[in-house]
Amino acid sequence: MTEKVTKPRPRKKRDSKVPIRERSRDKQPQESPNLQIRTTDLDLTLPAPVALVSTTPNFNPAIIGRPPPEGVDPLTALRWRYRLPMYFQPNMEDIFDRAFISHFIAVNNPGQVPLNVQLPWITKIPDMQAYSNKPALRLSIRAASMAFYGKVHQDMAVLTDSYKWYVKGLNYQRQSIQSLDPRSIPSDDDILVPIILALYEVFAGTTPMSVFHHLAAATKILDMKGPANCTSTVSSTLFKAMRVSESHKALIFNRPSVLSTPDWLTIPFDGEPKNALHSLTDVLLAIPGCIGLCGIEGSLGDFFSARLPDTTDLLPVRARTRQLLQEVDAWADRYPHLCSTAPSPQTLRMDLSARSLSDPPGIPTIMVPGTFAALIASSFYSARMTLALLLDKITPILPTSQSPGWSIMEDARSHTKSILQIAEFLELTNPVGFDFIRSIFPLVVVSNIAPLEEDRSRAMTMLERWGKKRAVSGLAGAKWIGN
């Protein structure tokens, strides 16, 4: 029996070539019977940047955003309309800078008069912000305008964001001061930066005393510039604005200002007569030096609450006080129309004196709003009340039979009532901007040295109310005493 021999099966040859994998783009997706795909028509066309920020009415609401509601302010409408998609965010800092600064100027300088004799430099802020090579100035203007808008319109988002720019501007300002050469003449921008930073503190009120620190820095830089270099247009307007606020600060803190020296009182006004405001400012600047003759240091409130030393020679201070009272009374005789409130604007000469029938035709005139005249009147009564109380303090008490028919304290109480009445008038007329800021100084004087406790309480209550309701919390809530 033989075995069956089978023929072996030939072995299959393997292909030595590496197979080419199929490209993913050639693959066709396999449809799953359980998967449903929803498709929508998406328009991903990227519009041109000019169309996104165009101010023309021919825009596409689907691209830019929904139309703003009726009755909103321009800044809210701007943010409402320009809501851009997340995949395209152009730089809109310039747009918002122009919007905030325009709002700041429009509210603080409403254009009611042909010439703003208070702070004409405010109209130059847009050019300063656009063309200045100092980052501190640009950032401080941005921060102050944003803080003012946030306070006025109760927009906490804008107010919070303004603090970021304030800190950046403050850091740049510190670097600029460290690199400032004492032998060089500071520029107008160097003086303006601390003024704008002080305005930010007025509106935002981050710390009680920061306002005065910035104003002190501006005064020091102005002193480095020198009185002879403050005769040009921009420098002169900055100097005149600074000396008014400096007179208020010097009186409240009872510290003589560098601007009260003879050079600063005369050289910047060479060839230009002083108007009513700056003539009154001269008296306010002289009062701290007069009080200093008593040899008592401290704020205005500290001086009037302290007892005079028995060894103090009161003859010089008494003579100087009477001289300043005569100057104030002479000022009131020359400008009687600025010693009371006026509900309507007044047309005055350029030096703020009243017009007369004998004026030649074509004489330059200026229309002054009633709030501005009320502020001057309030400053007049503040100076008159302070000098009257000073004279009463340094005058020996006479027997009743030898006392004059009038009382110095009666004058002081009458001036206090006038200041409070003017403050109520200003609150009712709702002044804005720097007019309202300057109205705080007389109330601070009343709250510190008014003869009656009732009047001091009324002034303090009004300051607290203004600090809460108006965009001046940094100044109305500041601790003016004890610095």
What pLDDT is stored for residue 367 in this prediction? 81
Token pair recorded at residue 43:
């328009």
H or E segment and range at residue 348 = strand 346-349
User: Environment class of residue 307 by beta-carbon count within 10 Å: exposed (0-12), middle (13-18) or buried (19+)?
Assistant: exposed
Would you say residue 385 has pLDDT above 50?
Answer: yes
The structural domain count of the chain equals 1
Q: What is the rounded distance in angstroms from the CA atom of residue 126 to the CA atom of residue 94?
A: 11
H or E segment and range at residue 408 = helix 408-429
Would you say residue 382 has pLDDT above 60?
Answer: yes
Q: What is the mean pLDDT of residues 198-224?
A: 85
Q: Which residues of 283-300 are buried (b: 16+ CB within 10 A; e: fewer)?
A: bbbbbbbbbebbebebbb
> Residue 71 — φ and ψ, nearest 5°?
85, 10
CA angle (192, 194, 195) in 5-degree steps: 60
What pLDDT is stored for residue 11 in this prediction? 65
Q: What is the mean pLDDT of residues 198-221?
A: 84
Q: Quick check: is 78 in a domain?
A: no
Closest to 463 (Cα-Cα) out of 440, 431, 436? 440
**233-247, 321-335, 399-413: lowest mean pLDDT where?**
399-413
Sequence-distant (6+) residues with CB within 8 A of 317 are 290, 291, 293, 294, 390, 394
DSSP classification of residue 471: S
Q: Quick check: is 132 in a domain?
A: yes
CA angle (119, 122, 124) in 5-degree steps: 130
Would you say residue 284 has pLDDT above 80?
Answer: yes
Q: What is the mean pLDDT of residues 242-249?
A: 91
Percent of the chain topping pLDDT 70? 72
Q: Quick check: is 51 in a domain?
A: no
- Cβ atoms < 10 Å from Cβ of 142: 25
Decide: 256 and 300 in contact? Cβ < 8 Å: no
Ordered DSSP codes for 44-106: -PPPPHHHHS--SS---HHHH-PPPPTT--HHHHHHHH----TT-----HHHHHHHHHHHHHH
pTM of the shown model: 0.76
Decide: 254 and 234 in contact? Cβ < 8 Å: no
Q: What is the dihedral of CA 191, 197, 200, 205, to 10 degrees?
A: -130
Q: Quick check: is 211 in a domain?
A: yes
Higher-scoring residue by pLDDT: 3, 293: 293
Q: Quick check: is 188 in a domain?
A: yes
Decide: 204 and 162 in contact? Cβ < 8 Å: yes
Give the helix ranges, DSSP H, for 226-314. Answer: 233-253, 262-266, 276-292, 300-305
Q: Quick check: is 317 in a domain?
A: no
Helices (H) and strands (E) counted in the chain, each on its own, are: 20, 2
pLDDT tier at 420 (50, 70, 90 boundaries)? very high
Q: Quick check: is 128 in a domain?
A: yes
What is the per-residue pLDDT across 77-118, written as a single tens digit (0 to 9) for each? 666 666 555 555 666 777 888 888 888 888 776 544 444 344
Q: What is the mean pLDDT of residues 446-463?
A: 92
User: Environment class of residue 230 by beta-carbon count within 10 Å: exposed (0-12), middle (13-18) or buried (19+)?
Assistant: buried
Whole domain around residue 183: which residue ranges? 92-225
Task: Return mean pLDDT, the chain.
Answer: 78
Distances (CA, A) of 411 to 9, 133, 382, 414, 460: 135, 53, 12, 5, 21
Q: Quick check: is 57 in a domain?
A: no
What is the per-residue pLDDT across 301-312, written as a single tens digit (0 to 9) for each? 999 999 988 888
pLDDT tier at 55 (50, 70, 90 boundaries)? very low
Decide: 157 and 213 in contact? Cβ < 8 Å: no
